Amino acid sequence: MLMLIAGGTLVSCADGGADDPCGGIVQPLPRAITTSPAALVLDIGADSVIVANSSGGCSNDDRTVVWITSNPQVATVDANGRVRAVGGGSAILTASVFSNQARVTLPVTVRARLASRILARPARQYPRAEP
């Protein structure tokens, strides 16, 4: 480990040894996650896949994406980002990466199905009154 004094502040720079999480990089790029699409509108019963992309951090960071839904009665999401619309309403999906150091939210709107046919009885016919 190399120790430097910079402007009166002690700064350490790892040498990439076994205990160095970033292979000697003093300040890795900021950890971030994005999704595509950024929002979903689905009909009940439909499904879609959200692609999550992580960037920054160290090369050995855990980049496993963890998905959660705010409302499983409206939309569910699996570990692969597959969203299933199960009920009308709205939900917020959250994808996190880097052990929850980077998160992104995605609004989901699920439209309720409209009736495909309307059952109605014919109006009752009454005889006309004669004048």
Rounded to an integer, what distance in angstroms lies between the CA atom of residue 125 and that of residue 78?
A: 56
To the nearest whole percent, how much of the chain has pLDDT over 90?
A: 54
Give 43-70 pLDDT, tens digit per residue: 999 999 999 999 998 888 889 999 999 9
The chain-wide mean pLDDT, for the chain, equals: 81
How would you class 58 by CB atoms within 10 Å of its CB: exposed for 0-12, middle for 13-18, buried for 19 or more? middle
CA 76, CA 85: separation in Å to the nearest integer? 7
pLDDT at 28 (0 to 100):
73
Provide block-wise average pLDDT over 10 residues at a time, the chain (131 residues).
Answer: 38 43 70 94 96 90 94 98 97 95 95 70 70 67
